[in-house]
Amino acid sequence: MNTPVRTFRSYWQVAPLSLVLLCFLVFPILTIVIVSFWDFNAYQLLPDFTFDNYAFSLTSDVTLKAYLNTFFYAIATWLITLILGFTVAYYLAFHIESNLMRNLLFILCTIPFLTSNIIRMISWIPLLGRNGLVNGLLTGSGMVDQPVEWLLYSDFSVILAFVHLYTLFMVVPIFNAMTRIDKKLIEAAMDAGASTLQTIFLVIVPLCRSGIVIGTVFILTLVMGDFITVRLMSGGLSASVGVLIYNEISLLQYPAAAADAVILLITILIIFSILFRFVDIKKEL
Amino acid sequence: MKKGAIELVCINKAYGNKEAIKDISLSIAAGHYCCLLGPSGCGKTTTLRIIAGHETPTDGDILLDNRNVTGLPPRKRGTALMFQNYALFPHLNCVDNTAFSLKISGVAKATRHAQAIEMLKLVNMESYTDALPDQLSGGQQQRVALARALINQPDVILLDEPLSALDPFLRGKMRVELKRIQQQLGITFVHVTHSQEEAFALSDQVVLMHDGVIEQQGTPKEIFQQPKTAFVAHFIGGHNVLEGQIHQNEFHTGSIRVKGLAQALSSSPRTNVPQQFSLRFDRIKAAPQPDEGLHTQPFTVDAVEYQGAVIQVQGHYQKGPELSVYVSDKAFFAHPFQPGQEIYLGWDAHDLNPLQPPVHS
């Protein structure tokens, strides 16, 4: 009989978070969606309801190239961080016997996060530049005559920076899923005659599927929404969707930028809705 | 000829400085049901895992059908291990769980599924082929685990406390089932348990372990009728252990003297040294009044416990020993006694079973 009162009261518990999300997530996104339908000229925004921004963006070669580039970065980074993350997590979860050692090594993995992203990216420049350490070593030892150009300001350096920045986001969820695997299952697989590789692919991978999917979500969101890494590490030579939006903002073309942002958002949501078909995320958290 | 004879030769296993198993030698005949029995930490599970190939002994050899398998991986031994909590793969349904090892050896899907269903039929689980382990009860999971262990037609099945996760009713049912399957297939079962009841009910051979050594082995009957040490007598239950000395054919323990030992014992006992005997609870007569064949000293009752078919009476003589006695419910309710009351006990010298000093000090 006091159910209505209790239901009403329980709303207070979710009120703070709802308010924060409303103000800082829902409201900005709504604003972006609204602005994406506005018109603009060189120096002002014109409230309107036009599909021009979308029409322009969706038919432009620049957008297509930027998307292809973004997907390339995302998939390459995903693949490399997946292999690295799985290997590191596997080592931590199954090869380290003592809990103390495991925790220490895990903390070691997080050390790169003690400095800012920008510093970490910039620190690659003296290493990979034309006169950098790596090229110095290569030319000095006579392995190459000319400094290697593709080390910096190239797709290579962009993906390298992404991998460096984000591998931990793959390690953590996979490690988390792996620690929940009963060690007896591995013995049971051995008992059935499975080799290490068979055990990994038939038992461990299926059982840490949720960790892999969550890691994938992190990596894809981070890479696809990024603009600073691509700008810095490609030296402005390649463009991702993030860079595209950033450029439009610096030219004060807010409605165009908003339209591109909405398209990017929808793209990512479609990818995730496909991903989440493979795993019941609620069960795993 | 039956297959699956196991021979352990001088097996040692140490973890760091701690010796889990000390120089165990054991042979289990083909087609026998053998229970490794003992309290936790006695080394029984380690022994099982050494037979299975999941632990390497520090020293010693394992022979299966006269083939030295000490260095072989589990699958090459012809054994199959059933894990304590079954270790079913949570992402695979019953058929795929059962057929897992066939998949590993590259058997085609249709064939391995057909064989898996055959095995599930043997354990009465054929109607749950598509269920995931999470959707099954403990007893059902166990049946699937058994089917998975059986599918490779192993010569030896190793079971690690298979019944401990089940409730008592189901445990009794599965016990019968295990025995049925073992006899139907005629293969060797090695079963680790800490329950003497389970071990006695199932085994052809009981191996009682304590602190990394075999304390006694034999048929359940041998072990219950002639426990070898005080530990065995205590562990299997139903036995009093009397400590005392022998003086000229008399056994002195506390205020009690038992006459006529020489006739009762096959070997002549040493005199004037401490000696232990075990005496079964159910071999002691109890009466409210002194009578012929009963000791004249009064026995004070401390506790009376109703156990259904028998009543367990605990009490003590004034100068020892403390004893437990089973009184049949008919006799007890004809003349019930209360704690605090004095009664009279008696037993035959034949029923005293001499115990050896402990295997290790």
Domain ranges of chain A: 1-35, 51-284
Residues B4, B66 contacting (CB under 8 angstroms): no
Q: What is the residue whose two structure tokens read 């390497």?
A: B56
Determine the distance in angstroms separating the CA of B182 from the nearest CA of chain A, rounded to an integer: 20
The answer, yes or no, to whether residue A70 has pLDDT greater than 90, is: yes
Report how far residue B361's alpha carbon sits from residue B359's, in angstroms, rounded to the nearest whole number: 7
Q: Give the CATH H-level superfamily of domain A51-284.
A: MetI-like (1.10.3720.10)
Q: What is the pLDDT of residues A140-158, one digit of tens each?
A: 888 888 888 888 888 899 9
Q: What is the pLDDT of residues B145-193, one digit of tens each?
A: 989 998 988 899 999 988 887 888 888 888 898 899 898 888 999 999 9
Confidence check on the interface: ipTM exceeds 0.85, yes or no: no
Distances (CA, A) of B360 to A99, B47, B109, B209, B273: 35, 19, 54, 12, 19
Task: Kindly calculate the radius of gyration of chain B based on its CA atoms and give it in whole angstroms.
Answer: 25
| 3-state DSSP percent of chain A in helix, strand and coil, to 5 | 75, 0, 20
The amino acid at residue B230 is: A
Q: Do B52 and A185 touch (CB under 8 A)?
A: no
Q: Do B104 and A187 touch (CB under 8 A)?
A: no
| 132-191 of B, contacting A, C-beta below 8 A | 148, 152
Chains A, B: CB contacts within 8 A come to 58
The overall average pLDDT reported for chain B is 86
| 283-342 of B, contacting A, C-beta below 8 A | none
Residues B119, B143 contacting (CB under 8 angstroms): no
Rounded average pLDDT over A270-279: 85
Q: State the pLDDT at residue B98.
A: 92
Whether B83 has its CB under 8 Å from any CB of chain A: the answer is yes
Determine the distance in angstroms separating the CA of A36 from the nearest CA of chain B, rounded to an integer: 45
Higher-confidence residue: B25 or B289?
B25
Least Cα distance to B253 among B279, B227, B225, B290 occurs for B279
The overall average pLDDT reported for chain A is 88
Q: Do B85 and A187 touch (CB under 8 A)?
A: no
The answer, yes or no, to whether residue A203 has pLDDT greater than 80, is: yes
Query: What share of chain A in percent tops pLDDT 70?
Result: 96
Q: What is the pTM of this model?
A: 0.77
Report how far residue A219's alpha carbon sits from residue A223's, in angstroms, rounded to the nearest whole number: 6
Contacts of B84 in chain A (CB under 8 A): 184
Least Cα distance to A187 among B101, B164, B150 occurs for B101
Interface test with B, best of A178, A191, A209 (most B CBs within 10 A): A191
* Pairing outcome for strands B285-287 and A39-40: unpaired
A182-188 — which CB contacts under 8 Å span 24+ positions?
Answer: A182/B85, A182/B87, A183/A94, A184/B83, A184/B84, A184/B85, A184/B87, A185/B87, A185/B89, A185/B90, A186/A94, A187/B54, A187/B81, A187/B83, A187/B87, A188/B81, A188/B83, A188/B87, A188/B88, A188/B89, A188/B100
Neighbours of B219 (CB within 10 A): 13
The amino acid at residue B345 is: L
